[in-house]
């Protein structure tokens, strides 16, 4: 089922088009990656989905229906900038936010306690936000976004400021929410997180959609331009093979840039005639490479 649908959504600020005809669909139990360079239009898109600002054109549907105020109860938002009041206690603040989203005081308290236990910080219940470290404030922001068990969760740089252990903790929580059916709009500049979590993505650049679709399909359409070669010793003449554009020595062999897939076979033959091969891989482009390429091409 489609939880969230954007069709040709436009937002214009004075003479600046911040979002130009974005269309995307997020299904039940899906994490959708919303990516883009700085100023591309991601936050504006998320704020429109949340009903904080209105689109100038296009439609946004939630479970097939247009926006109404009750939808606040089924949406959760972790903004990029800190959204919690520094001087207010975690318990008061998160419980208040949960009640604004339709929970009873008792259920809100129960859910908050569950999440604090889950993140192994039950003692934060009575702490003020300002007493917590930056990373732990981020965790409280995450709890504030999920405490009322939203159907649609919007995460903007959810893992920023977290140490690697906490990144893993939040990542596994996000996956669990997805598996329970939550639809997640996930925005980040960290492409490796997108590769791990998202099925479909949109890359925005200067308000326009420059790449959109299933991440695996997108990757298969971009040419493979890197060969990783593990060898027992040196291999001569790799840089003069046709289609080889750059050769770099690595710890255990070579990283070779190619302009065409046909070059891979010649590389393998050349290497085999001179050395024992313990690794040969024609690498799929990373999302980072695809992002840089797509944004660069659209600049041109
Ligand atoms: N309230 C506003 N008034 C005027 N222009 C705005 C406003 N909010 C955003 N913009 C402009 O709209 C464009 C998109 O901004 P937006 O904040 O959506 O980008 P973003 O993709 O979230 O960027 P970042 O990765 O830097 O957070 C930018 O050019 C920005 O300057």
Instruction: Please tell me the distance between residue 272's alpha carbon and the centre of ligand 1 in angstroms.
Output: 53
Closest ligand 1 atom, residue 80 Cα: 27
15 lines ligand 1 (CB under 6 A): no
Instruction: Please tell me the distance between residue 193's alpha carbon and the centre of ligand 1 in angstroms.
Output: 23
Instruction: Please tell me the distance between residue 9's alpha carbon and the centre of ligand 1 in angstroms.
Output: 15
Instruction: Please tell me the distance between residue 258's alpha carbon and the centre of ligand 1 in angstroms.
Output: 37
d(CA 69, CA 57): 19
pTM attached to this predicted model: 0.89
What is the number of domains present in the chain?
2
Can you give the CATH number for the domain in which 254 is found? 3.30.70
- For position 299, what pLDDT does the model report? 64
- For position 298, what pLDDT does the model report? 66
Same domain as 254, residue 127: no
- For position 83, what pLDDT does the model report? 78
Backbone angles phi, psi at 64, to 5 degrees: 85, 0
Provide, rounded to the nearest whole percent, the portion of the chain with pLDDT above 90.
Answer: 86
pLDDT at 154 over 80: yes
Q: Is position 245 within any domain? A: yes
Final residue in a domain of this structure, among 168, 184, 219: 219
Same domain as 210, residue 245: no
**For residues 46-63, average pLDDT:** 96
pLDDT tens digits, one per residue of 70-94: 898 999 999 987 778 889 999 999 9
Instruction: Please tell me the distance between residue 205's alpha carbon and the centre of ligand 1 in angstroms.
Output: 11
79 lines ligand 1 (CB under 6 A): no
**For residues 231-248, average pLDDT:** 94
Domain that holds residue 229: 223-284
Q: Is position 292 within any domain? A: no
- For position 15, what pLDDT does the model report? 87
Instruction: Please tell me the distance between residue 279's alpha carbon and the centre of ligand 1 in angstroms.
Output: 45
pLDDT tens digits, one per residue of 103-145: 999 999 999 999 999 999 999 999 999 999 989 999 999 999 9
- For position 81, what pLDDT does the model report? 79
CA atoms within 13 A on the CB side of 3: 22
Pocket test residue of 18, 55, 291 for ligand 1, highest count of atoms within 8 A of CB:
18
Final residue in a domain of this structure, among 219, 242, 265: 219
36 lines ligand 1 (CB under 6 A): yes
Q: Is position 296 within any domain? A: no
The residue whose C-alpha atom lies closest to atom 12 belonging to ligand 1 is 18
42 lines ligand 1 (CB under 6 A): yes
**256-263, long-range: CB within 8 Å, 24+ apart, which pairs?**
256/226, 256/227, 256/228, 256/229, 257/225, 257/226, 258/224, 258/225, 258/226, 258/227, 259/225, 260/223, 261/223, 261/224, 263/227
Same domain as 36, residue 82: yes
11 lines ligand 1 (CB under 6 A): no
Which residues, 6+ apart, have CB-to-CB distance to 96 below 8 Å? none
- For position 80, what pLDDT does the model report? 84
Confidence of residue 300 (pLDDT cuts 50, 70, 90): low
CA atoms within 13 A on the CB side of 164: 0
Same domain as 160, residue 20: yes
Instruction: Please tell me the distance between residue 41's alpha carbon and the centre of ligand 1 in angstroms.
Output: 6
Q: Within a 10 A sphere around the Cβ of 165, how many other Cβ atoms?
A: 8
Same domain as 230, residue 167: no
Q: Is position 230 within any domain? A: yes
44 lines ligand 1 (CB under 6 A): yes
65 lines ligand 1 (CB under 6 A): no
Q: Is position 289 within any domain? A: no
Q: What's the mean per-residue pLDDT of the chain?
A: 93
Can you give the CATH number for the domain in which 50 is found? 3.40.50.300
Nearest to 219 by CA among 247, 205, 198: 198
Final residue in a domain of this structure, among 168, 201, 219: 219
Same domain as 144, residue 64: yes
Nearest to 146 by CA among 107, 181, 94: 94
Same domain as 232, residue 102: no
Same domain as 192, residue 239: no
**For residues 15-19, average pLDDT:** 93
Q: Is position 89 within any domain? A: yes
Q: Is position 299 within any domain? A: no
Q: In what order do the strands lie in the sheet with 208-214?
A: 75-78, 152-156, 183-187, 31-36, 200-205, 208-214
Same domain as 250, residue 174: no
Same domain as 30, residue 147: yes
- For position 257, what pLDDT does the model report? 95
**For residues 59-64, average pLDDT:** 96
pLDDT at 295 over 90: no
43 lines ligand 1 (CB under 6 A): yes
pLDDT tens digits, one per residue of 219-228: 998 888 999 9
The residue whose C-alpha atom lies closest to atom 7 belonging to ligand 1 is 13
39 lines ligand 1 (CB under 6 A): yes
Same domain as 237, residue 172: no
Q: Is position 295 within any domain? A: no
The CA-based angle 55-77-35, given to 5 degrees, is: 65
Same domain as 232, residue 88: no
pLDDT tens digits, one per residue of 168-193: 999 999 999 999 999 999 999 999 99
The residue whose C-alpha atom lies closest to atom 14 belonging to ligand 1 is 41
**For residues 236-243, average pLDDT:** 94
């Amino acid at each position: 089922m489609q939880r969230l649908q954007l069709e040709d959504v436009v937002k214009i600020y004075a003479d600046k088009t911040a979002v130009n005809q974005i269309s995307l669909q997020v299904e039940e139990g899906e994490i959708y990656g919303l990516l883009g360079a700085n100023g591309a239009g991601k936050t504006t898109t998320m704020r429109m989905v949340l009903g904080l600002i209105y689109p100038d054109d296009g439609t946004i549907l939630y479970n097939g229906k247009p926006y109404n105020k009750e939808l606040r109860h089924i949406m959760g938002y972790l903004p990029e900038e800190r959204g919690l009041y520094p001087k207010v206690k975690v318990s008061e603040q998160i419980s208040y936010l949960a009640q604004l989203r339709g929970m009873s005081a008792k259920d809100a308290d129960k859910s908050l306690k569950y999440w604090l236990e889950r993140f192994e910080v039950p003692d934060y219940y009575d702490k003020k936000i300002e007493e917590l470290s930056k990373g732990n404030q981020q965790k409280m922001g995450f709890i504030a976004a999920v405490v009322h068990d939203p159907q649609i969760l919007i995460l903007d740089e959810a893992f920023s400021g977290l140490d690697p252990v906490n990144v893993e903790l939040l990542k596994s929580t996000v996956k669990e929410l997805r598996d329970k059916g939550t639809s997640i709009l996930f925005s980040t500049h960290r492409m490796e997180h997108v590769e791990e979590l998202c099925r479909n993505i949109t890359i925005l650049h200067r308000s326009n959609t420059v790449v959109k679709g299933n991440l695996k399909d997108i990757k298969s359409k971009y040419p493979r331009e890197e060969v990783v070669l593990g060898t027992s010793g040196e291999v001569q003449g790799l840089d003069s093979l046709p289609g080889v554009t750059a050769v770099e020595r690595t710890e255990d062999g070579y990283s070779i840039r190619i302009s065409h897939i046909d070059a891979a076979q010649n590389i393998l033959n050349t290497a085999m005639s001179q050395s024992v091969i313990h690794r040969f891989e024609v690498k799929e482009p990373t999302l980072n490479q695809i992002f840089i390429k797509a944004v660069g091409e659209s600049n041109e």
